[in-house]
Amino acid sequence: MDNVGVFLVLIGAVGIWYFIKKQKDAQKRNISIGLVVVGFLLVGIFGEPSDAEQATPESTVESTISSSELQVIEESKEVERLAEEEAAAKAKEEEEKANADKKAKEEAERIERANIMNLEGEATTEQKSVLNDLAQQQFKEMFPYKGSKINSILGVSKDWRAIDGEWYYRADAVIVNAFDAKLETEVIIKIVPETESSGFVTIEAQ
């Protein structure tokens, strides 16, 4: 009967390997594991040494599991370990791909929100950032002397808003000329979009 047990262990081990590496089938893999367990039980129950074997010191063993059976167990554990590593690597790969897709989607949405060609009511936070940069560049070109500035924090009377196909903005400003003379005034800034992040800027001092 112990031969039957050994046979079941071998068949089960082969099944575990096959249904993990060659043809993934969790149900059949579990059946194969069950065969190995049953085989070990049969060997343990019916594999007791005979009287002659008990009388021979060389044949006395502390375990009924032979070296070949131990090898089968080790191979089964190795197969299980490789399968777990493969599953973990696949899960990590899928997680990294999902994170990359999420970041790409978020970046695409951010770019779309920053597109100043979208002239719809009040500007988004991203559009305001682009519009402010364009306005500051034009303001510095027109009024390059130190001290000239747009009071874009407390002096805004009308924040960026789309009106008749252009962006409109009003704010207090300080304009300094070449002789350090200061003029506190209000500027009206209009930007006609030309691309997603550029446009024709006009600044009028009141």
pLDDT of residue 105: 93
In a domain, 78, yes or no: yes
In a shared domain, residues 75 and 44: yes
- When pLDDT is cut at 50, 70 and 90, the band that residue 35 belongs to is confident
Are residues 130 and 199 located together in one domain of the fold? yes
**Count: domains in the chain:** 2
Per-residue pLDDT tens over the stretch 93-146? 999 999 999 999 998 998 999 999 999 899 999 999 999 999 999 999 999 999
Are 147 and 104 within one domain?
Answer: no
Residue 116 lies in a domain: no
Question: Do 95 and 178 fall into the same domain?
Answer: no
Residue 114 covered by a domain: no
Please give the pLDDT value at position 68: 67
- The answer on 129 and 87 residing in a single domain is no
Strand partners, 158: 170
Domain boundary among 58, 79, 108: 108
Same domain assignment for residues 15 and 74: yes
* CA–CA dist 97, 125 (Å, integer): 29
* Range of the structural domain that residue 163 is part of: 125-205
104 and 6 in a common domain: yes
Res 53 pLDDT > 50: no
pLDDT of 8: 65
pLDDT for the residue numbered 17: 67
In terms of domains, do 147 and 176 share one? yes
* Digit-coded pLDDT (tens) for 151-198: 988 999 999 999 999 999 999 999 999 999 999 999 999 999 999 999
Residues 141 and 85 in one domain: no
User: Does 185 fall in a domain?
Assistant: yes
Q: Please, are residues 123 and 131 in contact by the beta-carbon 8 Å criterion?
A: yes
- Percent of all residues in the chain with a pLDDT value above 70, rounded to a whole number: 80
User: Domain boundary residue among 63, 79, 108?
Assistant: 108
Average pLDDT over residues 55-65: 48
Contact 117, 192 (CB under 8 A): no
Residues 140 and 100 reside in one and the same domain: no
Q: Please tell me the distance from the alpha carbon of residue 69 to that of residue 44, in angstroms, as a whole number.
A: 12
Whether residue 119 lies inside any domain: the answer is no
Picking from 28-42, 63-77, 96-110, 120-134, which range would have the lowest pLDDT averaged per residue? 63-77
- The contacts of residue 110 (CB under 8 Å, 6+ apart) are 126
Based on the fold, state whether residues 79 and 154 are members of the same structural domain: no
191, 190, 156, 149: which is closest to 171 by C-alpha?
A: 156
Domain boundary among 61, 79, 108: 108
Regarding whether 15 and 104 lie in a shared domain, the answer is yes
